[in-house]
Amino acid sequence: MRMAEYIIIGNGVAAIGCIEGIRSVDKTSSITVISEEQYPVYGRPLISYYLEGKTTLDKMNYRKPDFYESNGCRVLYGKRAERIDKDEKNVLLDDGTALPYTSVCVATGSTPFTPSIKGLETVQSKFSFMTLDDSLSLEKALNKDSRVLIVGAGLIGLKCAEGISKRVGSITVCDLATRVLSSILDNECAALMQARLEENGIRFMLEDTVTEFNGNKATMKSGASVEFDILVMAVGVRANTALVKELGGEVNRGILVNEQMQTSLSNIYAAGDCTEGMDTSLGERRVLAILPNAYMQGHTAGVNMTGGRELFDKAIPMNSIGFFGLHAITAGSYFGTDEGGEMYEERGDGTLKRLFTKDGVLTGFILIGQVERAGIYTSLIREKVPLDSINFDILKKNPTLFAYSQNQRRKMLGGVV
Amino acid sequence: MKRVYVNEKWCLGCHLCEYNCAFANSGKKDMVDALKGKPIFPRIHIEGNEKISYAVSCRHCEDPMCVKSCIAGAISREDGVIHIDQSKCVGCYTCILVCPYGALATNADGVMQKCELCLQNSCGAPACVVGCPNNAIVYEERGDENG
Ligand SMILES: Cc1cc2nc3c(=O)[nH]c(=O)nc-3n(C[C@H](O)[C@H](O)[C@H](O)COP(=O)(O)OP(=O)(O)OC[C@H]3O[C@@H](n4cnc5c(N)ncnc54)[C@H](O)[C@@H]3O)c2cc1C
Ligand code: SF4
Ligand code: SF4
């Protein structure tokens, strides 16, 4: 076999999936990873747990220290891929080097989006919350008296709030949305999470945002003003699509990929937060910026780059997020009755379960507080298991394999899966 | 590779495996000292009703969703065995979100755990299997289809 030259742009979890995918087929060809960040791969979501003291720098490595070496990868740290030359089949770096490739995987992730707000440049101490460096510089800037203003009540803003809550004086979170975590929770579920955050001292200003900054003062849309020492901007992220877009590749909110993670350009693949693929629970394309997705897309890209074949055709949104001991697990899509969907609901003391069904399959769920064995539900969504092939009445009450037929269960528990 | 398999026809629903598991992983020498009067956190669970019952524990999947999804890279596959490095776990519950068998749960300290085939403790062979009075759980090599 002719030796291939694989290039992976980016060094996040999608890149690791890609390396492992390539090496599951091709043990020898060269792999070069271009890493803008100076670190070996770390679990990006851990940056808040680091500030919270739940992990340490040496435990944040996503893979063992010898990972790249034992997989025969060359990593170029602190280098940026500026352009792909698809005619010459080169990747051009910021230092002028041209690296030849036989196939390339764009695994560039996303960048925090900064809205243009009047006076933002007058704020001295402002941060994003995406990278380990962001987390380390935020840590340097904060002290026990800091008043922190976080713009954005999504997953990233709130994880940041939880991470620093015991280390600062006060935290205010504002968001234009009417609820926290608006992309994954409905009103009532969001209210439960918000209450837990508030019990832990975090103050919210919802349906409100900053219209102007003046040094340490923010003037809000509501007319209120907030004084702060540290500003964290967590409004949202944008997929890094430029490398493919400027070549004329198909791009929407993310780089468009098929089930083999091919872009519209030959020998150019893409994986992770920079892509837009099919959300099978919704039946539409979406950017699914979650870590499991990044790994699985990367792996699929890697296998296909070698000429092997693997499909990733079960992507759904799924999140597990907890604040101060209250866990929320969500997956799939929630269709309203007007869209032909149905909802099953159970409430307990501080717990809430909502299962969404449509056309005879489970399409989504929200579990708050009581989340044990949630994966049994997730699997029904991913596999589109017809609900009439199992005992859904049992399953509604409890995620248990008892809802499956004896035969199905024998395959699950009596064979290799 | 050898895995734990159940035969639900033989299961009595006696829950002994749960106790043997909790004891095996307690690090204690005496079962009474380890379990008596305390909530137990076994890595194997009996499911079912009065008529049908069976034990569920980690399947050590060929294509493990937990490994691909752990945000900390704390779950890995070594020689087919799926292992959690508990010192790296941050308790995010993403593995609970994705495991199709509901095989993971937290221990008394809130850290994630699951069956590791008694390879990490001093038992040598899975304690649930050794202690099952009716051979309803076995530890053996099987092919891709039901053996
Ligand atoms: C605070 C926080 C908490 C999160 N929590 C969760 C969670 O609980 N669960 C979950 O599922 N997901 C979570 N996520 C999302 C998760 O981290 C991402 O989905 C995942 O890391 C995406 O991996 P990736 O490899 O696609 O991209 P990234 O990890 O973003 O990696 C891309 C890398 O490419 C580099 N790069 C970009 N352009 C270039 C270039 N031109 N040349 C060279 N290098 C380049 C970037 O610097 C970056 O290091 C969280 C994210 C954040 C920020
Ligand atoms: S924990 Fe679940 S997904 Fe992971 S190997 Fe065990 S059964 Fe498979
Ligand atoms: S709870 Fe622990 S083991 Fe499970 S996914 Fe999170 S970090 Fe990994």
* Of A329, A387, A379, A383, residue with least CA distance to A358: A387
* Share of residues in chain A with pLDDT > 90 (%): 98
| CB pair distance less than 8 Å for A375 and B61 | no
Domain boundary assignment for chain B: 2-141
Of the ranges A290-304, B44-58, B114-128, which one carries the lowest mean pLDDT score? Answer: B114-128
Q: Are A367 and A322 in contact (CB under 8 A)?
A: no
Which pLDDT score is estimated for B108? 87
A253 and A195 belong to one structural domain: no
Q: d(Cα A293, Cα A273) in Å, to the nearest integer?
A: 8
Specify whether A45 is located in the same domain as A102: yes
Tokens encoding A204: 């919210």
Q: Which domain CATH number covers A172?
A: 3.50.50.60
Decide which of A256, A275, A305 is a domain's last residue.
A305
Per-residue model confidence (pLDDT) at position B124: 81
- Neighbouring-strand partners of residue B3: B140
In the prediction, which pLDDT does A1 show? 53
Rounded (5°) CA angle A134-B84-A107: 40
Q: What pLDDT is attached to residue B145? A: 43
| ipTM here | 0.96
Radius of gyration of chain B (CA): 15
Cβ of A159 less than 6 Å from ligand 1:
yes
Last residue of a domain, one of A196, A217, A235: A235
Judge contact between A243 and A9, C-beta under 8 A.
yes
Tell me if A156 CB under 6 Å of ligand 1: yes
Clarify whether residues A227 and A143 are in a common domain.
Answer: yes
Contact A73, A5 (CB under 8 A): no
For domain B2-141, give its CATH number from 3.40.1160.10, 3.40.50.2300, 3.30.70.20, 3.90.1300.10: 3.30.70.20
Choosing among B45, B51, B97, which should be mutated to test the A contact, i.e. which has the most A CBs within 10 A? Answer: B97
Domain contains A203 = yes
Domain holding A394, by residue range, is 325-412
> For A311-320, B22-31, B76-85, which range has the lowest pLDDT when averaged over its residues?
B22-31
As a whole number, mean pLDDT of residues B120-128 equals 87
Of B114, B115, B116, B117, best ligand 2 pocket probe by most atoms within 8 Å of the beta carbon: B114
Q: Which two tokens stand for residue B130?
A: 């050794």
β-strands A318-323, A326-332 pairing: antiparallel
Is the Cβ–Cβ distance between A79 and A34 less than 8 Å?
A: yes
Domain end marker among A208, A235, A262: A235
Number of domains composing chain A: 3
Instruction: For residues A248 and A228, state if they share a domain.
Output: no
Is B54 within 8 Å of A413 (Cβ atoms)? yes
At residue B144, does pLDDT exceed 70? no
Amino acid B121: pLDDT: 83
Residues (pLDDT < 70) of chain A are 1-2
Report pLDDT for B120: 83
Measure the CA–CA gap between A184 and A159, rounded to whole angstroms: 14
Same structural domain, A337 and A373: yes
Q: Is residue A319 part of a domain?
A: no
The finding on whether A290 has its CB within 6 A of some atom of ligand 1 is yes
Q: How far is A46 from chain B (nearest CA, A)?
A: 7
Based on its alpha-carbon atoms, the radius of gyration of chain A, rounded to whole angstroms, reads 23
Using N-to-C axis directions, what is the helix angle for A155-164 and A132-141, rounded to 10°? 40
Mean pLDDT of B126-139: 95
**Within a domain: A318:** no
Residue B147 pLDDT > 70, yes or no? no
Task: Evaluate whether residue A386 is within a structural domain.
Answer: yes
